[in-house]
Amino acid sequence: MMISPPPRSNGSRTLIYHTFPHNCPKRFSVSSYPLKLALTHTDAGSAARAGIFETDHGAVETPIFMPVGTRAAVKALRSRDLHDLGAQIILGNTYHLFLRPGNEILRNAGGLHRFMGWDGPILTDSGGFQVFSLQELRKMTEEGVEFQSHIDGTRHRFTAENVVDTQRAIGSDIAMVLDECPPALSSYDYHRDSMERSMRWARRAWEHHVRTPMPYGHSQALFGIVQGGTFADLRARSTELLMETGFDGYAIGGLAVGEPTETMYDVVSMVAPLLPPDQPRYLMGVGTPQNLLECIARGIDMFDCVMPTRNARNGSVFTWSGKVNLRNASLRDDWDPLDADCDCETCRNYSRGYIRHLFNVDEITGLVLATIHNVRFYLALMERAREEIRAGRYSGWMRETIERMQAEVPKS
């Protein structure tokens, strides 16, 4: 028997004023969810689209990349740096924030925005991906998943409902439902059973979401997550079940977990057109600059990935002409910027030779400068993609850009 979806929790809003740590008064706009994506341009040669959606902490232009702030910080950056780099929305990880500092501290702090001094939009994942990565440390039931903290071994349980509660305590602008992300090589039967369970969790999450208040006076959207591995029928069924409930936006999960890149593109090409055109589509945990451009061409609006920040700390930076390894000895006497076409603080002020030196002697500043550049590179890539979509040139520009990035620089 089909259960009709519960009433949505939108309605009248009041204006709320907050003062943020840097004493800048912030006025929340009055917007009524469900969150809608206003499409401004669509590309003639692909499924790429440019648009904008509103949250109570500001508007987000799409396509967009969300820097990952796992534990209430984008590693090596301050919230002010994120603003300066042009970040419009950032991502927080529910699993990590739930363990430390925990829901009570987050509530006492007034939510994650205040806790970390970031007044822009925040999206939180549900923690499912991290819990299901724990392998030996978890046990799954219809109710949810039990797991042991990777920090101290304490036992915890995530359910469809309490993950919504934790994201309410965090106070993110966009929350995600709990889902299982099965390993890519799991059997069809495993993927089917897992997907169906995740869809039951999604329905329970939505019902709990509309029943519970946001403690901080702003709205929170809830996104469903399409699962089903690389099986077209399971992906289609998962999409159908989520849309019966009717979420504020839709993510495609369970990709970039070891399947070939072409397979990932095929799944995105298949799922994206099934989703509502006027709501955001978010591809979780993907990926390289090339992956982002290819998936924009397939109709994706939102991305997150640890790659720019993690690679930066490992001395690997992205440029418009390919990746640069900062530990490469050939950079010792190289006084060019990391990327002559980049407008970031690092590229405007420092040379490859200097940053290579900082990595060579393990100076923290090296990690900071490389992170600033990589995050700016990803954000600038999205800005340029939006411009090209608006100008009707996306497909040709994408092909040229990907070709240029195939190179590994510097050339000897």
- In the complex with Zn ion, the residue whose CB is nearer, 343 or 363, is 343
Contact, 127 vs 158, CB < 8 A? yes
- Distance of closest approach, residue 25 Cβ to Zn ion, in angstroms: 32
- In the complex with Zn ion, the residue whose CB is nearer, 181 or 344, is 344
Query: Rounded distance, CA 181 to CA 79, Å?
Result: 30
253-312 positions binding Zn ion, by CB under 5 A: none
Query: Rounded distance, CA 361 to CA 234, Å?
Result: 51
Q: Which of 171, 181, 176, 178 is nearest to 156 (CA)?
A: 178
- Distance of closest approach, residue 338 Cβ to Zn ion, in angstroms: 5
Burial class (CB in 10 A: 0-12, 13-18, 19+), 411: exposed
Size of the site for Zn ion (CB under 5 A): 5
125 is catalytic: yes
Report residue 317 as tokens.
Answer: 């930076």
Query: Rounded distance, CA 364 to CA 359, Å?
Result: 8
- In the complex with Zn ion, the residue whose CB is nearer, 104 or 348, is 348
- In the complex with Zn ion, the residue whose CB is nearer, 109 or 409, is 409
Stretch that binds Zn ion, among 50-58, 202-210, 285-293, 346-354 (CB under 5 A): 346-354
Query: Rounded distance, CA 218 to CA 121, Å?
Result: 11
- Distance of closest approach, residue 210 Cβ to Zn ion, in angstroms: 43
DSSP 154: -
- Distance of closest approach, residue 353 Cβ to Zn ion, in angstroms: 15
Residue 90 lies near Zn ion (rule: CB under 5 A): no
User: Which residues contact residue 192 at a Cβ distance below 8 angstroms, ignoring those fewer than 6 apart?
Assistant: 228, 231, 234
Query: Rounded distance, CA 171 to CA 114, Å?
Result: 10
Choose, by CB under 5 A, the member of 221, 342, 355, 379 that binds Zn ion.
Answer: 342
- Distance of closest approach, residue 345 Cβ to Zn ion, in angstroms: 8
Extract the runs of DSSP E, i.e. beta strands, from 229-379.
Answer: 249-252, 281-283, 302-304, 316-319, 322-325
Q: Which residues pair with 52 in a beta bridge?
A: 38, 61
Residue 344 lies near Zn ion (rule: CB under 5 A): yes
336 is catalytic: no
31-60 positions binding Zn ion, by CB under 5 A: none
The catalytic residue among 56, 248, 304, 339 is 304
- In the complex with Zn ion, the residue whose CB is nearer, 145 or 344, is 344
How remote is the C-alpha of 200 from its chain's centroid? 23
- Distance of closest approach, residue 370 Cβ to Zn ion, in angstroms: 9
Q: What is the rounded (10 degree) CA torsion for 356, 357, 362, 365? A: -80
Q: What is the rounded (10 degree) CA torsion for 354, 360, 363, 369? A: 50
- In the complex with Zn ion, the residue whose CB is nearer, 94 or 374, is 374
- Distance of closest approach, residue 331 Cβ to Zn ion, in angstroms: 15
Residue 74 lies near Zn ion (rule: CB under 5 A): no
The catalytic residue among 56, 125, 173, 301 is 125
348-387 positions binding Zn ion, by CB under 5 A: 373
Query: Rounded distance, CA 163 to CA 94, Å?
Result: 8
Stretch that binds Zn ion, among 115-123, 193-201, 223-231, 347-355 (CB under 5 A): 347-355
**Host H or E run for residue 39:** strand 38-42
Stretch that binds Zn ion, among 29-37, 45-53, 258-266, 344-352 (CB under 5 A): 344-352
- In the complex with Zn ion, the residue whose CB is nearer, 90 or 312, is 312
Residue 347 lies near Zn ion (rule: CB under 5 A): yes
190-219 positions binding Zn ion, by CB under 5 A: none
- The catalytic residue positions are 125, 304
| List of residues contacting Zn ion (CB under 5 A) | 342, 344, 346-347, 373
